[in-house]
Chain A
Amino acid sequence: MSAHAATAGLAEPEGEESRDHSKDGPAPVRIVVAYGFWIFLLSDIIMFSALFASYAVLSGQTAGGPAGRELFELRHVGIETLCLLFSSYTCGLGILSVERRNTRGFYVAFALTFVLGATFLGLEVSEFVGLVARGAGPSRSAFLSAFFSLVGLHGLHVSAGLLWLCFMVAQFAAKGPRDFVRRRLLCFSLFWHALDIIWVGLLTLVYLMGAR
């Protein structure tokens, strides 16, 4: 009898649980897709963390070459930071416009995002070209190798993001705000915001700490 009571006691919460599940149903596709993309972004951040670690270890190994103090121009870097931050903001506003069926707002916001992202990339390329011209290329010292691989990988991500942005605008123009287009736009915005988070770490570790 006690065994029977135990089974009954076990069975009841189980029954309740399964009822709850059937009531809620599976999570909406939008949430599952965002979760999967979030996992990808975290793995990307973990890859960056390895480069951050190698930069932190090698930042003092200048092999007699120039150190960060002599190379970094903070005014330049400040403009890059503002470009990326505002492009993150306009990207968010673009997603809001899509949700509110404001097509015009979406195009304006994403055009601004593209311009700001391209400005960031242009400033970074000009910084790299300047460094190489001064003989401070990636082969000069372990510090510069780590610097170019860390900052360069972030720049490559921004370039990929700009390509993706163009692709998404074209897709939106061709297919309109359908569910799958909006899900892809959401993933793009997550990617773009994550790049800004990585830039915050980069700005602090590489430029602000390195320029002191």
Chain B
Amino acid sequence: MAGVSEAAPVEAGPTRTMNMIQAINSAIDVAMDRDGSTVVLGEDVGYFGGVFKATEGLQAKFGKTRVFDTPISENGIIGVAVGMATYGLRPVAEIQFADYIYPAFDQLVSEAARLRYRSAGEYTAPITVRSPFGGGIFGGQTHSQSPEGIFTHVAGLKTVIPSNPYDAKGLLIAAIEDNDPVIFFEPKRIYNGPFDGHYDRPAAPWSKFADSAVPEGYYRVPLGKAKIVREGNDVTIVAYGTMVHVASGAVAESGIDAELIDLRTLVPLDIEMIAASVKKTGRCVVVHEATRTGGFGAELSALVQEHCFHSLEAPIQRVTGWDTPYPHSLEWAYFPGPVRLRLALERVMQD
């Protein structure tokens, strides 16, 4: 679905202040209104409206055959979604926490991701799998993980991670309308407001930030297009999700003239924007909350090296979570916060 403009102003309608949850809810609402084949399924998504309230009010509006609760079986949720897509529906499945997605892994990797390929286009799986992910909420090892790297590794899946309400809505609509399976990870730490990693300071709600101005109607943020959050000349920081805000805060504190890129989509990746930026700055820091080894940062690092080797003035730095399970009480020692960012920026600026 490349080449679609970022917004269709007429349909987008008036804007309203929304947090990420409200923006996601609005995206599904708009998508369901526009396409009667769009259905929502998942644990607690129906009457209750989801444990994070992302589907609140949708069952009342669209009825039980379009928005329904499911058994606690992620494997079943995705298997059933693939079957519904085969019938001709456009399922939007919620996996309550990304940590619970593993029982669905085979259906995603071996089925949804490969159906178009293995049937040479006879069958497709236009499903969107929404799932809250990431830590910073004292969720311990089963409510904090960032498993995007195991999905970006899979041929046939798209992986999308928004960092603010405006993008969340536009990207989710684009994901739902996409004819390929999309994994849509929602950084739950920033559902209610951006988070710069200073866990000891008061949280600010989205309403205080410009990206909370969200059109009430239809618009898309195209998949595969990153965004420059802050222009700069000294170093390129590549981040997504919560880490966009942590990086943004660290840059402000450091006084370094960094260029900050919010990937928004990991696959397909906006390599052009990344390469152009690193060629300009000559330095690069890649950031994610997920564990380091084999993470998406490794892919970013390799790509930057392949595309920008002759422009690089310093080794690429990775700022990530540690290669351990997400610890409950030591969350803030695990979380890649302002200090880890600052040290990496210092290292990358040394040479």
Asked if A and B are interacting partners, one says no
